[in-house]
Structure 1
Amino acid sequence: MKILKIISLILALAFTFFGYNIYFKKKYSLINNFEKDYKNGLKDEEYAKKVGLIELILGILFLLIFLKISL
């Protein structure tokens, strides 16, 4: 059970950190090949915001899972 707690906490921190930086701080360079694909017209800022939002939501969900396991 301790391993599951550690894994869920690490995932929560990582997803929340990256999601926050992509969605709110607009650090789109955290997405693999985004700048290259953006220049080629394959991806736009809406795609990056969706990725950031999904990662932020996943981070919050893993945090809730961690809290549920801990209590």
Structure 2
Amino acid sequence: MKKSYHCCATCQHFRIGREAERVYIRCERLGYATQSHFQFSCWNPRVDIVEKMRRQSQDATVTSTGRDDQC
């Protein structure tokens, strides 16, 4: 499932900004320009992405077993 979300655009360090009429996309942690689809091993997902992965994992468990083990 991590493969579905692992990219710079879902990382907490990903920033988009504007300076002198130019848009920049950068990794604040690494300190240089990046693209939204790039992948680095230092990926640290945003809170909303962690929640989506958790929900998707739970949905997959329910679907594969036919029951919800949480109940």
TM over 0.5: no
Structure ID, larger Rg:
2
Bigger helix fraction: 1
Q: Which has the higher contact order (CA 8 A, sep 6+)?
A: 1
TM range (shorter): 0.3 to 0.5
With normalisation by structure 2, the TM-score equals 0.38
